[in-house]
Amino acid sequence: MRQHHSDVELLGALLRELDPRRGKTALSRAALLLERHGGLGRVSRATEAELSTSLRPREARAVRAAVALGVRAHERALEPARRALSCAADVAAWASPSLATLEHEELWVLALDGRGGLRSAKAIAVGGRHGLEASVADVLRHALRECAAAIVAVHNHPSGDPTPSDEDRHFTRALADAGKVVGVPLLDHVVVARAGFRSVDA
């Protein structure tokens, strides 16, 4: 049976291994680190100097390396198979195993070829438990770089409920409108979560 650990538990385990003498405080220090930086997404983007306000330099370097390794492993797990994504269920089947149970929010863009095959996939934004800041320009920049014929957006809801929010609908409308202007249509925007998936109705 697959076991899920919270961000605090995973960071705490790392800190405990780095300094067993301070093992009893590892969880509280991990929780404080996440609180100060606004969640794992922002920890992943923090510099060593920024992390050193909460951690010893050696710990800050180790946390940055561990997070980078985790991001790389996550991207490898989501590396595209050249297959068609013809509906929201296909997108959810591709994304849910890696995204649906995350405790922070991530937005991915899937660049499709002319036959609807998955050309590439990229994480555009990583946020916290309650949302993320995403840029339409960043999505389309990746799509144009990949010479995508069309794109699909997919993100997760850490709450477990895939129901699209007003912010999801607003972003989808903006992305669809901008995609029309540059000739890269948005075919779908899918939300995945532990309770299932939903297409965002813009």
Task: Note whether 49 and 131 are same-domain residues.
Answer: no
| pLDDT score at 143 | 96
Q: Is residue 120 part of a domain?
A: yes
Task: Note whether 163 and 104 are same-domain residues.
Answer: yes
Q: Are 130 and 167 in contact (CB under 8 A)?
A: no
| CATH number of the domain within which 109 lies | 3.40.140.10
Task: Note whether 66 and 86 are same-domain residues.
Answer: no
Geometric angle at alpha carbon 197, from 195 and 198, rounded to 5°: 130
Whether the pLDDT of residue 162 is over 70: the answer is yes
Task: Note whether 99 and 144 are same-domain residues.
Answer: yes
Task: Note whether 181 and 85 are same-domain residues.
Answer: yes
Task: Note whether 106 and 59 are same-domain residues.
Answer: no
> How far apart are alpha carbons 190 and 87 in whole angstroms?
10
What pLDDT band is residue 3 in, cutting at 50, 70 and 90? very low
- pTM, two decimal places: 0.63
The parent domain of residue 167 ranges over 81-199
Q: Is residue 124 part of a domain?
A: yes
Task: Note whether 56 and 89 are same-domain residues.
Answer: no
Task: Note whether 144 and 112 are same-domain residues.
Answer: yes
Q: Is residue 2 part of a domain?
A: no
Task: For 79-95, write each residue's pLDDT tens digit.
Answer: 555 567 889 999 999 99
| pLDDT score at 22 | 84
Three-state secondary structure readout of 127-177: CECCECCCCHHHHHHHHHHCCCCEEEEEEECCCCCCCCCHHHHHHHHHHHH
Task: Note whether 65 and 93 are same-domain residues.
Answer: no
The number of folded domains in the chain is 2
Percent of the chain with pLDDT over 90: 48
Task: Note whether 95 and 30 are same-domain residues.
Answer: no
Task: For 27-72, write each residue's pLDDT tens digit.
Answer: 998 998 888 888 777 787 788 888 888 888 999 899 888 887 877 7
| pLDDT score at 20 | 86
- Identify the residue with better confidence: 97 or 177: 177
Task: Note whether 145 and 194 are same-domain residues.
Answer: yes
| pLDDT score at 78 | 58
Q: Are 129 and 105 in contact (CB under 8 A)?
A: yes
Q: Is residue 1 part of a domain?
A: no
